[in-house]
């Protein structure tokens, strides 16, 4: 029987989980999110199958109706090096083009050589290099200045555009589970309604965050160094005991603050190391 390329379905769950257990030291995000990840409303999954065995799979997720994200490119160990990554990447690009999206992107760890080679072969361009950092426990220090929510009468999108960091971040919200959400008005207004935009007095410094049951994610931060530091400390008081994750640009003015607060790259003690995350964009 020939290999077939088909759309993934929920019944593929067990085989997808088995393949996912062989990558990233059994810490693949797919293992924790497989049910929602397989939801057809969240994106399109393609699998390579032969004789009922799934050999490889990948997904194109829908960040918005017009912003697509490639992720979860996985190949079963016994079949790596056979071109399946190239096949899936090429097919998902063609699927994306059918609907004329605004963007098609992916991010990967610098060690994901297969994903990098496959993406670059198909024309993806590296748009940014970042450091993915985390903090298991913030210092229990109360902020020294008054912290509040962004006022209800403010337009959060216009507020972010006041900061030069908005443009340095290429208009993205970083750190949302390795997906780079566009910092567009609809998304920011939702976060605003949920009380996830903190500011210092006179709104000179700003922090946008999100969270789930396990961790906090700093999506955007801007203003003075000390102001951003106080915002992070205030968030730690508001949401105590949670793992905090974010992404930062190399040589960012905020990296000394992250270092001081105990952030580090996974498996390291430092913040300022060679970037470990590459962001790619397809020229549509």
In tens, the pLDDT along 134-177 reads: 999 999 888 889 999 999 999 999 999 999 999 888 788 876 67
State which residues of the chain have pLDDT below 50. Answer: none
Instruction: Verify that 271 and 136 share a domain, yes or no.
Output: yes
Within a domain: 176: yes
Instruction: Verify that 227 and 258 share a domain, yes or no.
Output: yes
Count Cβ atoms within 10 A of the Cβ of residue 104 and give its class: 0-12 exposed, 13-18 middle, 19 or more buried.
buried
Instruction: Verify that 116 and 155 share a domain, yes or no.
Output: no
Q: Find out whether 279 and 105 touch, Cβ atoms under 8 Å.
A: yes
Instruction: Verify that 166 and 75 share a domain, yes or no.
Output: no
Range of 82's domain? 4-123
Instruction: Verify that 95 and 215 share a domain, yes or no.
Output: no
User: What domain count does the chain have?
Assistant: 2
Instruction: Verify that 265 and 144 share a domain, yes or no.
Output: yes
Q: Find out whether 277 and 247 touch, Cβ atoms under 8 Å.
A: yes
Within a domain: 281: no
Note the pLDDT of residue 142: 85
Q: How many CB atoms lie within 10 A of CB 89?
A: 26
Note the pLDDT of residue 24: 74
Q: How far apart are CA 246 and CA 211, in angstroms?
A: 11
Q: How far apart are CA 251 and CA 58, in angstroms?
A: 33
Note the pLDDT of residue 172: 84
Q: How far apart are CA 67 and CA 53, in angstroms?
A: 31
Note the pLDDT of residue 168: 86
Instruction: Verify that 211 and 163 share a domain, yes or no.
Output: yes
Final residue of a structural domain among 69, 98, 123: 123
Report which of 177, 175, 169 is spatially closest to residue 250, judged by C-alpha positions. Answer: 169
């Amino acid at each position: 029987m020939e290999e077939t390329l088909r759309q993934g379905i929920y019944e593929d769950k067990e085989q997808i989980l088995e393949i996912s257990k062989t990558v990233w030291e059994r810490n693949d995000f797919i293992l924790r999110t497989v049910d929602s990840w397989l939801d057809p409303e969240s994106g399109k999954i393609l699998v390579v199958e032969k004789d009922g065995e799934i050999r490889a799979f990948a997904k194109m997720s829908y960040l918005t109706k017009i912003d697509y994200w490639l992720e979860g490119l996985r190949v079963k160990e016994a079949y790596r090096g056979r071109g399946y990554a190239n096949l899936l990447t090429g097919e998902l690009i063609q699927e994306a083009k059918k609907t004329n999206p605004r963007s098609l992107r992916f991010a990967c760890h610098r060690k994901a050589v297969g994903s990098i080679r496959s993406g670059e072969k198909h024309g993806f361009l590296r748009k940014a290099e970042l450091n993915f950092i985390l903090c298991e426990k913030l210092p229990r220090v109360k902020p020294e200045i008054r912290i509040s929510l962004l006022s209800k009468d403010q337009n959060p999108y216009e507020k972010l555009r006041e900061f030069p960091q908005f443009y340095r971040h290429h208009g993205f919200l970083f750190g949302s589970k390795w997906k780079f959400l566009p910092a567009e008005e609809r998304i920011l207004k939702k976060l605003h309604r949920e009380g996830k935009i903190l500011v210092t007095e006179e709104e000179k410094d700003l922090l946008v965050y999100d969270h789930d049951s396990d961790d906090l994610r700093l999506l955007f931060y801007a203003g003075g160094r000390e102001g951003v530091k106080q915002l992070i400390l205030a968030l730690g008081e508001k949401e105590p005991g949670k793992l905090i994750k974010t992404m930062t640009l190399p040589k960012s003015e905020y990296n000394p603050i992250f270092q001081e607060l105990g952030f580090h790259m996974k498996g390291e003690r430092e913040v300022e190391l060679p970037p470990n995350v590459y962001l790619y964009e397809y020229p549509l």
